[in-house]
Structure 1
Amino acid sequence: MDTIISKWFSSTEQKVTWAISLAFFIMFPIYFAFFSSFLPSGAVVIGGSSVTGEWDVSFQETDIATSESTEFLMDGEEFVFDFTFEDQSVNLGYVEITVSHGETDEGGPNPAVQNQCDNAIGQMRMGQVNDFVRPDSTMEGESPNNCPASYTMVIMLMENYTGESYTDSGQKGEIESMWTDNGFGRGEYRCQITLETRTGSSPGPLPGQVFNNNEDGEEITVSWRVVGVEVSVTQVVVIDA
């Protein structure tokens, strides 16, 4: 009875196949053992998250979600604009909240009157958001004097993040782990707007009758922008000059 081994080598084709396979099994580990000798002088092969070396770190930002809502507020009125974000599948860098408005009736009857915007005072209420980077975040804002007016508050979700590329040394995996949101920024964002009437200005160099700010309110728009960040840590081959 033929043995299994004799059947494997019973034909010329089978013998050739086994010979090629054996040669591959021998040459494959030898090739990788001496791979570095084929590189240019001073070159280093780098791969995997545990490798230590010099790394170029860069960031790519993407708008993950945007939203906008508008409300007409009476002078002295408070209103809370809200926005909810729960997606855990993305790495977040920050959330921008922009408050903007025009001036309903600010020109006055006298050409010498200087326009002055009402003040839409913004305060972020973050009690329903699981966490964020407090020292780097902007939690309050006020309208500038001139209309149309706008300002932006920023809630940072990644510590020390600026978006600027840089070079660092160390373990690749440790550098990558520095730039994660740690689950921050999920929940309900609440932006409280209080409309404060500014008294306006009087014509001429001396104090007198105020001719502007005669309106009863302003149309306030609050825009939300959630920004995701993709981190790139790259350095495949370093060649010394």
Structure 2
Amino acid sequence: MALVVVSAVGASGCSSAGAGGAGGTKVTVLAAASLTEPFNAIKDEFTKQHPALTVEVSYGSSSALASQITNGAEADVFASADQANMAKVTGGDLVAGAVEVFARNTMAIVVPTGNPRGIRELKDLTGAGLRISLGAPPVPVGKAAREGFAKAGLRVPAATEEPDVKAVVSRVALGEADAGIAWVTDVRATKQGVELVEIPAGHNVVSDYPIVRLAAGKNGHGATALIEFIRSKSGQDILRRYGFQTI
């Protein structure tokens, strides 16, 4: 799990929430691995507009992050790649605000550059002799992949079970798998070694990305300001730039 710390750098436009409020100046975020690229860009822009704040993000699979939260991890914000893992933290007193959807994503087949095995559709992934990479069942992209096979009336092929979507794409890029199923955004974010094969809407899965302020967090004002920014035009523009469907 990567830990990225963004230090506050000068700018203007600081509101009372942006000034930190109760709990100091750091906003701690747990975010789905598929949000790595847009959230890194969002952090840069947010801290320019809120120079009294820093943002610290830990990226990983939504299932692992939800488990951390239910086991007492202290964070201000949780951004999940699906509603199912968000629901694991909203049943008790772990959240301090409303759950809000801020983006959507869809699946694609990821293959090595040049598509040497000629993969064209989900059915091709069930062929003999192929090395397939999928997210583990609790991981949002792994759960979605299995739903996609079911919608297509196909069995789920034997596959590696990866801890997050980045690991699926990496295995294909490194030549360790002939194909995998990943979020469209993660295939497009990978600059070398892979290309995308579209999955038609009838066999695809649209995943809502929800975000919430956590009760265990120490900076409620900063968390609220960050969530508002992500859902603002500026935040939505950044998400669209990285291929997400926005609200």
Q: What TM-score bracket applies, with the shorter chain setting the length?
A: under 0.3
* Higher helix proportion (structure 1 or 2): 2
* Higher strand proportion (structure 1 or 2): 1
Between structure 1 and structure 2, the one with the greater Rg is 1
Q: Comparing both chains, which one has the higher relative contact order based on Cα–Cα distances under 8 Å and sequence gaps of 6 or more?
A: 1
Relative to the length of structure 1, the TM-score reads 0.24
